[in-house]
Chains A and B, each alone.
Chain A
C-alpha cells in the first residue's frame, strides 16, 4: 500500500501542477503524520500523511484524496497567505480582536484555509469539497467552518446547524485580497465565541484536516523578504515587535541555516527592534559600486579614412587599399584610444555619530529616521566592503555613550545605532579621535544639534581631514554657530531637515556622492 501511494502521488502531482499552471514547488512526498491531519508543509515542500489517506480511502478514492490535498496546499501558495508578510499581518489583525496568541493563530489558520479552498473551488475542478465531506469533523469551530463551506460553495458537506454563524461568515469577501485585513477582523469577531468555547473545554489543539500553518512552510529567504515587507508597512517599531515577537521561536528556528545576515541563529534571541531597522533600511539600498570606465592608454585601429597625398604612409592599410597607393583608393587607419574597465578604488571606512539624547526620537517606540538614515549609510559602506564604526552619544560624560569599533557585523552596528539613552547631549571628541585611522574614514553626524559642548566638536571638525556630513533636525542658535564655523571647510557639509522623513534620502544622496561619483 505504501508503495502504491508513492506511485499514485507521482502520477497525480504532474496533473495537479498542470491544473494550477506549474507552481514553483518542489515535488511532494508521502510522509508520516496523524490520521486526522492530511498535510504538512515545510519550506514549501508538501508532505501528505499516509495515515490520513488510508483513513479516507474507504469513503473516497485514494487518487481524489491525494489530489484534493495537493490542490489545497498549492492554493495556499497561490492565493493565501501568498507570503510571510501577509501571514503576519493577518495574524496581527486577528490578535487585535482576539487578544490571545493561540486563538489568533487558529483563527488565522482557518481564515487562510477558507480563502485558499474557496479560491480553488471557484476556479478549478477539485475534490477538496469531497475531502471535507468525508473527513472527521473536529470541534464546534471545525463544524462551523464546514457549514460555512456548504453555504459559500453551494454543496452539502453533511453538516447540520450553525445557521447564524455560517450566515455571518458567508458575507465576508474572501476572494478579495485587498480587503483581507478587514475580512479577518470580521472573521475573528464572528468565531471568537467558538474559540473561547474550545479554550474553555480544554484548549485550541484540534486541527483542521488540512493541517496548520506554521512558519516552517516558508523558506529562509521568504522569511527575510517578509520581515522586510512588514517593516515597510507597519508604522512603528513597536507594532513590528508586537507582531514578530509572538513568532520569535519559529523565526529563529526557520532561519537557523541562513540567518547570519540578519544576525539570527541558534543561541541568539530575536532583537525585534534591531531587525526592524535592518529590514527597513533594506528598502533603501544603494547598488555596489561598478568598475569605472577609463581610457586604456593604448591606441587601436578604429576605422579607415581615405589617404591623401602628404599624409604619412605608416598607417596605410594595404588590404583595404588593394595594394595600391593612389588617392581615392588607398585607405589609412585611424587609431583611437580604447575605453576599458578600470580598477576599482577602495572604499573608505565610515564613522557614524548618532545622537540619542532625550530630544531625539526613541527608536524602540517610534520610527526614528535618524537611526534609519544612519542604517542606510552603514549598509552602503558595508556593501562596498568597508567597515563601520558607531559612536552613539547622549550625555557621554555620565556614561551615556556606546561605541562600536570598526565592524562588518550588520547586527552589531544596528544594535549600537538603536540604543537609546534619552539623557543630555554631550559627546567626547577624544572618542571620535580614537576611531580615526590612516585611511581617513568618512564621518556622518546625525543630531538635532542641541549638543552642550558643540564648540569642542566644531574645533575638532576644523582640524580633521575627514569628509564630514552633518544632518541636523530643526533649527536653533547652535546650528547657526555650527554653520558659520564650518562655512569655509570644504570637507564638511551640513544639511538641515524640516521633516525627519528626509534624513535617509539626504544621507543616501551624500553617500552616493562620496562613493559613486567619478573621481571618488
Chain B
C-alpha cells in the first residue's frame, strides 16, 4: 500500500523543547499525584459524602493523609497551587472541607520548608482544619478568611492568620502560637492544653473545656481569667 505520508519522512519527530515545558510537565505530575492522594483519602475516609468531625475520625484521617503523601516530592508552591485546584469546581466538584484541610495540613507539616505562606483570600471555598498539628519549628502564614478548627491540635508551630478564623480555633492545641489579625468564632481554644492564641479582633466565644494554654485579645490576656 502506498505510504501517503512519505513527503514528511525528512521532518524530525522531536521538536524543540524549552524549560517551560519541562517545568509545567513536572508541575502537572505533582498536581496529579497530590490530587490522586486526596481522592484516595476521600474514598477511604468519607462514606456517602459525609464526614463527621469526631476526634478519632480526625486522627485517623490525618494518619491516612500522611501515608498518602509519604513518597511525594513537593514544595510550598505546589501546596498553594493545590489549594487553587481544590477551589476549582471543575477539578473537584465535591470538595469535602474537613479532609481537604487535613490533607493540606499533612502536606504543610511534611514539607521541606520551615516557613510557608498560603494566599487563600480569593478562593470561594472555605478551608477548615488548616494548621492541624503544626509541629515545632514550622511557621505557617495563612492569608484570607478561614473556616473552622484552624490550628486545631497545634504541636508547637507558629500559625499566623491574616484574616479571620471560624469556630474551634486552636481546639486541642498542645503548644505553639496562633496569631489572628481578624476575629475568631465560637469555642475558641476548646480542649486547649497549652500554647497561646492571640486575636486582634473580636472573639465569638471561648471553649469551656480547656486544660491549659492562654488566649489574648488585642494584647490583653483574657483566658485564663483572673478569677480562674
Which A residues form the contact surface with B (CB < 8 A)? 97, 118, 121-123, 151-154, 167-168, 170-176, 182, 186, 189
Q: For B19, what are the chain A residues with a Cβ–Cβ distance below 8 Å?
A: 151-154, 170
Cβ 8 A contact of B20, one of A118, A167, A168, A189? A118
Cβ 8 A contact of A189, one of B16, B24, B122? B122
Asked whether B77 lies within 8 Å of A122 as measured between CB atoms, the reply is: no
Which B residues form the contact surface with A (CB < 8 A)? 16-21, 23-24, 27-28, 77, 81, 84, 88, 119, 122
Q: For B27, what are the chain A residues with a Cβ–Cβ distance below 8 Å?
A: 171
Asked whether B84 lies within 8 Å of A153 as measured between CB atoms, the reply is: no
Asked whether A152 lies within 8 Å of B77 as measured between CB atoms, the reply is: no
Q: Say how far A416's CB is from chain B's closest CB, in angstroms.
A: 38
**Complex CA distance for A189 and B80, rounded to whole angstroms:** 12
**Majority secondary structure of chain B interface residues (helix, strand, loop or mixed):** helix
Closest chain A residue to B26, Cβ basis:
A171
- 19 A-B residue pairs with Cβ-Cβ distance under 8 Å, sorted by A, are A121-B18, A122-B16, A122-B18, A122-B20, A123-B16, A152-B19, A152-B20, A153-B20, A170-B19, A170-B23, A171-B23, A171-B24, A171-B27, A174-B20, A176-B24, A182-B88, A186-B84, A189-B119, A189-B122
**Complex CA distance for A423 and B90, rounded to whole angstroms:** 40
Q: For B16, what are the chain A residues with a Cβ–Cβ distance below 8 Å?
A: 122-123
Asked whether B18 lies within 8 Å of A167 as measured between CB atoms, the reply is: no
**Complex CA distance for A182 and B81, rounded to whole angstroms:** 11
Q: Say how far B52's CB is from chain A's closest CB, in angstroms.
A: 33
Asked whether B18 lies within 8 Å of A152 as measured between CB atoms, the reply is: yes
Closest chain A residue to B119, Cβ basis:
A189
- How many residue pairs bridge A and B at CB < 8 Å? 45
Q: Say how far B200's CB is from chain A's closest CB, in angstroms.
A: 22
**Complex CA distance for A171 and B78, rounded to whole angstroms:** 9
Closest chain B residue to A148, Cβ basis:
B20
Closest chain A residue to B78, Cβ basis:
A171
Cβ 8 A contact of A171, one of B17, B18, B77, B122? B77
Q: Say how far B64's CB is from chain A's closest CB, in angstroms.
A: 28
Asked whether B21 lies within 8 Å of A97 as measured between CB atoms, the reply is: no
In the A-B complex, the 4 residue pairs with the smallest Cβ-Cβ separation, listed nearest first, are: A152-B20, A154-B19, A173-B24, A122-B18
Asked whether A168 lies within 8 Å of B77 as measured between CB atoms, the reply is: yes
Q: For B81, what are the chain A residues with a Cβ–Cβ distance below 8 Å?
A: 171, 186
**Complex CA distance for A341 and B213, rounded to whole angstroms:** 94
**Complex CA distance for A97 and B20, rounded to whole angstroms:** 24
Cβ 8 A contact of B18, one of A97, A118, A176? A118
Closest chain A residue to B17, Cβ basis:
A122
Q: For B18, what are the chain A residues with a Cβ–Cβ distance below 8 Å?
A: 118, 121-122, 152-154
Q: Say how far A121's CB is from chain B's closest CB, in angstroms.
A: 6
Closest chain B residue to A97, Cβ basis:
B122
**Complex CA distance for A154 and B84, rounded to whole angstroms:** 27
**Complex CA distance for A360 and B17, rounded to whole angstroms:** 56
**Complex CA distance for A172 and B20, rounded to whole angstroms:** 8
**Complex CA distance for A168 and B88, rounded to whole angstroms:** 19
Q: For A118, what are the chain B residues with a Cβ–Cβ distance below 8 Å?
A: 18, 20
**Complex CA distance for A182 and B90, rounded to whole angstroms:** 12
**Complex CA distance for A456 and B84, rounded to whole angstroms:** 58
Closest chain A residue to B80, Cβ basis:
A168
**Complex CA distance for A417 and B81, rounded to whole angstroms:** 46
Cβ 8 A contact of A167, one of B24, B77, B84, B119? B77
Q: For B119, what are the chain A residues with a Cβ–Cβ distance below 8 Å?
A: 189
**Complex CA distance for A176 and B27, rounded to whole angstroms:** 14
Which of B16, B20, B88, B122 neighbours the largest number of chain A CB atoms within 10 Å of its CB? Answer: B20
Closest chain B residue to A125, Cβ basis:
B16
**Complex CA distance for A97 and B18, rounded to whole angstroms:** 29
Beyond A97-B122, A153-B19, A171-B81, 12 additional pairs, beta carbon < 8 A: A151-B19, A151-B23, A152-B18, A152-B20, A153-B18, A171-B24, A171-B27, A171-B77, A172-B24, A173-B28, A175-B21, A189-B122
**Complex CA distance for A116 and B118, rounded to whole angstroms:** 30
Closest chain B residue to A121, Cβ basis:
B18
Q: For B77, what are the chain A residues with a Cβ–Cβ distance below 8 Å?
A: 167-168, 171
Q: Say how far B111's CB is from chain A's closest CB, in angstroms.
A: 15
Q: For A153, what are the chain B residues with a Cβ–Cβ distance below 8 Å?
A: 18-20
Q: For A168, what are the chain B residues with a Cβ–Cβ distance below 8 Å?
A: 77
Q: For A122, what are the chain B residues with a Cβ–Cβ distance below 8 Å?
A: 16-18, 20-21
Q: Say how far A320's CB is from chain B's closest CB, in angstroms.
A: 47
Q: Say how far A145's CB is from chain B's closest CB, in angstroms.
A: 14
Q: Say how far B80's CB is from chain A's closest CB, in angstroms.
A: 8
Q: For A121, what are the chain B residues with a Cβ–Cβ distance below 8 Å?
A: 18
